[in-house]
Chains A and B, each alone.
Chain A
């Protein structure tokens, strides 16, 4: 399968805690992207990490990429109730299509 595999499928934490989501893939990539989706809405691009980068930060987000293990992680620090959403990793396959993982449903309880 070309799609990304994400774990956990669901994550429930308390406000203020950190949330970590993982993504694994099987193909060679130029970059890996993370998107967020609030329930029943469109996706919002969060961050893009290139294949020659190991770590990238954006506000409370930290993304790592390990191309030798074909895996990436998204860390949200000091989570808020408003972070409750589904989070997807995505990458372009060899045919140039953006392939999405199945997503992690994050629930942050106030």
Chain B
């Protein structure tokens, strides 16, 4: 898990709070991803960044705002979330965003919205 790190590991926030999730990859990869994993549901791709440019925004509500300041760091800014946003948020990276690459995942942030 040292290849992709995520902080915090656990987060509890109220619906009016603003918080940010951080992801850092130490693998020299050019693509980074945010996924949402809810109980009993498949992983849902939220955002894809390739070479620091957003290449995919998978119909995610605007209360989730990604930021990729460089190829090693990815943030997910959260504001006015809903209880149904409670989930495990996973960051991943890959060499690039092509079809042939495996993705390396961080340990996730367990988010609870109260």
Stretch at the interface among B14-22, B66-74, B76-84, B94-102: B94-102
Chain A residues near B45 (CB, 8 Å)?
97-98
Chain A residue nearest in CB terms to B107: A42
Known A33-B102, A92-B99, A97-B58; contact A42-B43, beta-carbon cutoff 8 A = no
Bound-complex Cα distance A96 to B98 (A): 7
Bound-complex Cα distance A3 to B108 (A): 22
Residue contact A42 to B100, C-beta cutoff 8 Å: no
Number of B residues, CB within 8 Å of A: 26
Chain A residue nearest in CB terms to B90: A42
Q: How far is the CB of A32 from chain B (nearest CB, A)?
A: 11
Chain B residue nearest in CB terms to A43: B105
Residue contact B90 to A43, C-beta cutoff 8 Å: yes
Bound-complex Cα distance A103 to B43 (A): 10
Q: Identify A42's interface contact among B4, B56, B99, CB under 8 A.
A: B4
With an 8 A cutoff between CB atoms, is A67 at the interface?
A: no
Residue contact B104 to A45, C-beta cutoff 8 Å: yes
Q: How far is the CB of B34 from chain A (nearest CB, A)?
A: 12
User: Which of A4, A41, A92 has the most B CB atoms < 10 Å from its CB?
Assistant: A41
Known A97-B45, A97-B58; contact A42-B1, beta-carbon cutoff 8 A = yes
Residue contact B90 to A100, C-beta cutoff 8 Å: no
Bound-complex Cα distance A97 to B106 (A): 18
- Residue ranges of A at the interface with B (Cβ–Cβ < 8 Å): 3-4, 30-31, 33, 35, 40-45, 48, 88, 92, 96-103
- Residue ranges of B at the interface with A (Cβ–Cβ < 8 Å): 1, 4, 6, 40-43, 45, 48, 56, 58, 88, 90, 92, 97-100, 102-108, 110
